[in-house]
Amino acid sequence: MLTASPLVGRHALVTGAGSGIGAAIARTLASAGARVTLAGRQREPLDALAEEIGQASFVADGFDVTDAAAIARGLDAARAAFGPVSILVNNAGQAPSAPFEKTSAEMWNHVIGVDLTGVFQVTQAALPALKAHGEGARIINIASTAGLTGYAYVSAYCAAKHGVIGLTRALALELAKKGVTVNAVCPGFTDTPIIRRSIATIVEKTGRSAEEALAEFTRSNPQGRLVQPQEVADTVLWLASPGAGSVTGQAIAVAGGEIMAG
């Protein structure tokens, strides 16, 4: 059972914190007592979120997960603000779509670089602090149901997210005796700005209504709806909390029953 403030005294870093799932995670961890570093490339949305959260937040803008030097600067600034990171949430990601034969090497490399190599680079940079914290340290990777199954027209994204889940499982075994748990959260289609932009694009290109476009994203969910960012954030909160100490190496689908792990 979660207590009212299970993360008091903890420092969480959330990448891609400026909107959508990342912002919901940051709010939720802060409400549970954590001090939260809001990491992202653009300062304006991070500042707006920091104003909302208050003194429990620190903005690390210019945090490009594909740039090792930017990651190092961001972690140094975060440590100066709140001390060593003991909860890492790798949320930054991109999901451009294209048929496979029209997926350029540039697009492929960009998606792999942000969605998979970015997780590798940030985790590797933060790992000394996480291992030093030991028992109770957490690495939580925001993957996707695309890491558990296939979807048409997002081959690079599917490949990257499958890689994130593989990395999660491997690292969980390496760190099992260090007290550091490593898990992946795999949302289905979620009500975020990315989905809203996708719906607008479908409407523009096909002439279908917004309701018809939305149905393209909800039909695979047995509950017939989009996942809410708060539902993903609540799963992250549970994994970050003391009660999830024996949960590691898992890929947890938050998808209304679309994916049922065996």
**DSSP characters over 76-130:** HHHHHHH-S--EEEE---------GGG--HHHHHHHHIIIIIHHHHHHHHHHHHH
The answer to whether position 200 is within a domain reads yes
Q: How many domains does the chain have?
A: 2
Q: Indicate whether 22 and 56 sit together in one domain.
A: yes
Q: Indicate whether 105 and 78 sit together in one domain.
A: yes
Count CA within 13 A, CB hemisphere, residue 196: 6
The answer to whether position 6 is within a domain reads no
The answer to whether position 159 is within a domain reads yes
Of 166, 71, 153, the C-alpha closest to 114 is: 71
The answer to whether position 4 is within a domain reads no
The answer to whether 122 touches 71, Cβ cutoff 8 Å, is yes
Q: Indicate whether 179 and 93 sit together in one domain.
A: yes
Average predicted confidence (pLDDT) for the chain: 95
- pLDDT band of 197, cuts 50, 70, 90: confident
Domain containing residue 91: 11-188+228-254
The answer to whether position 1 is within a domain reads no
Q: Indicate whether 152 and 119 sit together in one domain.
A: yes
Q: What CATH number does the domain containing 19 carry? A: 3.40.50.720
Q: Indicate whether 172 and 240 sit together in one domain.
A: yes
User: What is the three-class DSSP state of 221?
Assistant: coil
Would the pLDDT of 261 be above 90?
A: no
pLDDT digits (tens, 9 = 90+) for 85-121: 999 999 999 998 899 999 999 999 999 999 999 999 9
The answer to whether position 5 is within a domain reads no
The answer to whether position 133 is within a domain reads yes
What distance in Å separates the CA atoms of residue 203 and residue 209, rounded to the nearest whole number? 6
pLDDT digits (tens, 9 = 90+) for 201-247: 888 888 999 899 899 889 999 999 999 999 999 999 999 999 999 99
The answer to whether 155 touches 105, Cβ cutoff 8 Å, is no
The answer to whether 85 touches 129, Cβ cutoff 8 Å, is yes
Active site residues: 157
pTM for this entry: 0.94
The answer to whether 6 touches 242, Cβ cutoff 8 Å, is yes
Compute how many other C-beta atoms are within 10 angstroms of the C-beta atom of residue 193: 11
Cα angle for residues 63, 71, 240 (degrees, 5° grid): 85
The answer to whether 33 touches 9, Cβ cutoff 8 Å, is yes
Give kind and range of the element (H or E) at residue 31: helix 20-31
The answer to whether position 96 is within a domain reads yes
Cα–Cα distance list, 32 to 16, 25, 37, 166 (Å):
20, 11, 14, 29
- pLDDT band of 29, cuts 50, 70, 90: very high
Q: Indicate whether 86 and 148 sit together in one domain.
A: yes
- What's the distance, CA 175 to chain centroid? 20
Q: Indicate whether 96 and 204 sit together in one domain.
A: no
